[in-house]
């Protein structure tokens, strides 16, 4: 990382990126790496956090069983979407407010930290009162009114990079949240739109090391969306941890073949133990640890 620091902090490269555009998250202006705490979990440079759960909330039975399996494997943070932005207008859009109620209930039942996506400024207040961590998806990275609204709450916010965003545009989006008063921003690299049809999205493994030279914010990664294929999730997750990710957000389902959204890219919850065993090996090689609760 020392050589990367020299490269991206050289006079020649400083002209490429203006750190004053994202001064609150800039490592140049704020040299200490940030730690973001939520209940018994800390996002930061010391441990790797896992966030697991289904793409969408479908019904109580599905959510309950998936949460039970996630908890059993020591994962502390449970993700599930009640609001689903979809490319096709007739696709399943989620259970909306009813889904938020179910997620909050399940989180309390299994003592899990809850995480979900918000897609509209009008959702932020009610979701932030019931759910621990809010997420801004790739399609909304530059929805500036939504960024300003999540800037008014204190819940941690996971911000995904846009489909064609530069790293400076990405950091400027995070700055909107920080500038409006919320210091708890976690970046999430999830790939960009590329030209290769065998990849759902192209994941740039260099993006995380570069971001680590630019920002003090924690950086996690999504191995599910770039692949679009559950068989490729583990190989990509290994790469993401090796490149320095501070956590992973992974889609898992108790019955993926029947999932109403993204069925092909969700791991079966029965596959969680092997997934964790394999990524632990990479984490250990990097002198880092996967943060799991005691079973």
Whole-number Å distance between alpha carbons of 174 and 140? 12
The pLDDT assigned to 7 comes to 53
Dihedral, 288, 289, 291, 295 alpha carbons, nearest 10: 180
Domains identified in the chain, total number:
1
Q: What is the pLDDT along the chain (295 residues), one digit of tens a residue?
A: 455 555 555 444 444 688 889 999 999 999 999 999 999 999 999 899 999 999 999 999 999 999 999 999 999 999 999 998 878 888 888 899 999 999 999 999 999 999 999 999 999 999 999 999 999 999 999 999 999 999 999 999 999 999 999 999 999 999 999 999 999 999 999 999 989 888 888 999 899 999 999 999 999 999 999 999 999 999 999 999 999 999 999 999 999 999 999 999 999 999 999 999 999 999 999 999 999 997 6
Going 253 to 240 to 203 to 31, the CA torsion angle's sign is positive
Q: Confirm whether 199 is domain-assigned.
A: yes
The answer to whether 241 and 286 have CB atoms below 8 angstroms apart is yes
Q: Confirm whether 5 is domain-assigned.
A: no
The pLDDT assigned to 143 comes to 97
Q: Confirm whether 84 is domain-assigned.
A: yes
The pLDDT assigned to 200 comes to 85
**pTM metric for this prediction:** 0.93
Q: Confirm whether 109 is domain-assigned.
A: yes
The pLDDT assigned to 13 comes to 46
**First vs last Cα of the chain: how many Å apart?**
35
CATH no. for residue 268?
3.20.20.70
Q: Confirm whether 15 is domain-assigned.
A: no
The answer to whether 236 and 224 have CB atoms below 8 angstroms apart is no
The pLDDT assigned to 12 comes to 43
Whole-number Å distance between alpha carbons of 292 and 285? 18
The pLDDT assigned to 90 comes to 84
The pLDDT assigned to 4 comes to 54
Q: Confirm whether 124 is domain-assigned.
A: yes
Q: Confirm whether 10 is domain-assigned.
A: no
Q: Confirm whether 98 is domain-assigned.
A: yes
The pLDDT assigned to 3 comes to 55
The parent domain of residue 261 ranges over 20-290
* Residues in CB range of 3: below 8 A, 6 or more apart: none
């Amino acid at each position: 990382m020392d050589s990367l620091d020299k490269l991206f902090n050289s006079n020649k490269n400083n002209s490429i990126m203006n750190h004053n555009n994202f001064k609150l998250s800039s490592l140049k202006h704020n040299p200490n790496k940030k730690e973001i705490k939520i209940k018994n979990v800390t996002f930061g440079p010391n441990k790797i956090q896992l966030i697991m759960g289904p793409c969408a909330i479908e019904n109580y039975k599905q959510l309950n069983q998936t949460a039970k399996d996630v908890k059993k494997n020591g994962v502390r943070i449970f993700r599930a979407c009640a609001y689903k932005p979809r490319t096709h207008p007739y696709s399943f859009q989620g259970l909306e407010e009813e889904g938020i109620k179910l997620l909050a209930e399940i989180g309390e039942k299994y003592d899990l930290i809850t995480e979900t996506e918000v897609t509209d400024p009008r959702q932020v207040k009610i979701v932030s009162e019931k759910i621990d961590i809010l997420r801004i998806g790739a399609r909304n990275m530059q929805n500036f009114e939504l960024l300003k609204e999540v800037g008014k709450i204190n819940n941690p916010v996971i911000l995904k990079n846009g489909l064609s965003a530069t790293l400076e545009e990405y950091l400027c989006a995070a700055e909107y949240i920080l500038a409006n008063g919320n210091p708890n921003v976690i970046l999430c690299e999830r790939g960009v739109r590329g030209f290769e049809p065998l990849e759902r999205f192209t994941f740039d493994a260099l993006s995380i090391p570069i971001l680590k030279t630019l920002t003090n914010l924690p950086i996690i990664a999504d191995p599910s969306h770039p692949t679009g294929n559950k068989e490729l999730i583990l190989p990509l997750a290994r790469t993401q941890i090796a490149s320095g990710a501070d956590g992973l957000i992974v889609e898992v389902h108790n019955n993926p073949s029947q999932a109403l959204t993204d069925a092909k890219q969700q791991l079966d919850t029965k596959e969680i133990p092997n997934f964790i065993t394999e990524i632990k090996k990479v984490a250990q090689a990097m002198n880092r640890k996967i943060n799991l609760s005691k079973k």
